[in-house]
Amino acid sequence: MGNPAQLRDTFGRLHDNLRVSVTDRCNIRCYYCMPEHEVQFVPREEILTFEEIERFVRLAVSLGIRKVRVTGGEPLVRRNLHLLIRKLAAIPGLTDLALTTNGVLLREQAEPLYEAGLRRINIHLDTLDRNRFLRITRRDDFDRVLEGIETCRRLGYDPIKLNAVAVKDLTEPDVVPLARFGREKNIEIRFIEFMPLDAQGLWLRDKVLLADDIVQTISSEVCPLIEIPDRDPRAPATEYRYADGGGTVGFIASISKPFCLNCNRIRLTADGKLRYCLFAIEETDVKGLLRGAATEEEIARIIAEVVAAKWEGHEVNTARFVAPPRPMYAIGG
């Protein structure tokens, strides 16, 4: 297993980034993620407690994890989330703590989360058009998200990033307004290529709005974009800066430019399954270990084994591709 303080897979990739989903529940219904009705959620008693999550993260940090991103479903629907953030922010060796949210509950929760130690936040917003927001999310919470963003700006969150899922024939009209919004608010917009992770199998390759096409649109209609060289190759986003110094834009091009060869991420689901990849078919239960008599060494060994078993990368662009049995909301971004 090499240096015990390092989680390295058989491709030599060092894993220092853990995504922790704290719930599969959500207060909106993005059509490319979950059905509008009759969503199958995990029974509450199967969801890891804050203490179990904290114990797992401490262990993972002792093995070399340095960054944790808290996700969902929608993490802010988990009651008293700031208590977990405070626990995680206090773990020695955890140098980077971030959260991804749909922003609907941010107006109320941004301050307690900030006081608990959170500074980095990604807010998911695909459009600046209220009607399209309603069409995509099937909820009329557009204003709440904008208020949440303003609350985070006022409190001094840094960086604040907006994650926008880019879907052809739906969100193209939002590319330029979002780019302008980011320049105006000094917020980095991240365009995410549509991935085959929705619960209803709606994904189609020709619905993927490609990162390169978005770069061209912004460069011709807003300001030329220049790719930032030598960025951290393990970071999922390709970063560009505006030629006039007006900020940066990120692209997560999982379909057109997969970045698996530098992947440094593993994921813990809300119900305690450890996954070595967003698209993984297999997963390993750690809830039983956390709730049973397993020792720290045994859990640590399982974490290392999961990383050691990691595949080369997703197979979305191959004939072998099989969608994971879990949809996005039950994995966490």
Tokens standing for residue 20 = 């922790």
Based on the shown chain and the rule CB under 6 A, indicate whether residue 278 belongs to the binding site for ligand SF4: yes
In the bound state with ligand SF4, the residue whose beta carbon lies nearer, of 41 and 259, is 259
277 forms part of the interface with ligand SF4 (CB under 6 A): yes
Nearest approach, Cβ of 147 to ligand SF4 (angstroms)? 32
Nearest distance in Å: CB 276, ligand SF4: 7
Q: Smaller CB distance to ligand SF4: residue 196 or 313? A: 313
CA 258, chain centre distance (Å): 16
CB of 260 vs ligand SF4, minimal distance in Å: 3
In the complex with ligand SF4, the residue whose CB is nearer, 50 or 311, is: 311
Q: How many residues bind ligand SF4 (CB under 6 A)?
A: 9
- Nearest distance from residue 63's CB to ligand SF4, in Å? 18
CB of 263 to ligand SF4, least distance (A): 3
Return the number of the residue (203 or 259) whose C-beta is nearest ligand SF4: 259
Task: Quote the CA–CA distance of 238 and 252 in Å, as a whole number.
Answer: 6
Question: At closest approach, how far in Å is the CB of 278 from ligand SF4?
Answer: 4
Q: Which residues from 217-276 bind ligand SF4, rule CB under 6 A?
A: 259-260, 263, 265
Q: Is 331 in the site for ligand SF4 (CB under 6 A)?
A: no
By beta-carbon proximity to ligand SF4, the closer residue of 23 and 254 is 254
Query: Does 203 help bind ligand SF4 (rule: CB under 6 A)?
Result: no
φ, ψ dihedrals at 151, nearest 5°: -60, -45
Which 3-state string (H, E, C) describes the chain? CCCCCCCECCCCCECCEEEEECCCCCCCCCCCCCCCCCCCCCCHHHCCCHHHHHHHHHHHHHCCCCEEEEECCCHHHCCCHHHHHHHHHCCCCCCEEEEEECCCCHHHHHHHHHHCCCCEEEEECCCCCHHHHHHHHCCCCHHHHHHHHHHHHHHCCCCEEEEEEEECCCCHHHHHHHHHHHHHHCCEEEEEECCCCCCCCCCCHHHECCHHHHHHHHHHHCCCEEECCCCCCCCCCEEEEECCCCCEEEEECCCCCCCHHHCCEEEECCCCEEECCCCCCCCEECHHHHHCCCCHHHHHHHHHHHHHCCCCCCCCCCCCCCCCCCCHHHCCC
Other beta carbons within 10 angstroms of residue 232's beta carbon come to 10
Please state the closest distance from residue 265 (CB atom) to ligand SF4, in A: 5
Question: Does position 314 bind ligand SF4 by CB under 6 A?
Answer: yes
**Hey, what are 23's tokens?**
């719930």
> Using the rule CB under 6 A, is 190 a contact of ligand SF4?
no
Minimum CB–partner distance for residue 262 and ligand SF4 (Å) = 8
Nearest distance in Å: CB 327, ligand SF4: 15
- For residue 185 the two structure tokens come to 């608010």
Question: Counting contacts by CB under 6 A, is residue 211 touching ligand SF4?
Answer: no
Interacting residue with ligand SF4 among 72, 313, 324, 333 (CB under 6 A): 313
Residue closer to ligand SF4 (CB basis): 25 or 314? 314
Q: For residues 129 and 315, which CB has a smaller minimum distance to ligand SF4 in the complex?
A: 315
Query: Using CB under 6 A as the criterion, which residues of the chain lie in contact with ligand SF4 when the complex forms?
Result: 259-260, 263, 265, 277-279, 313-314
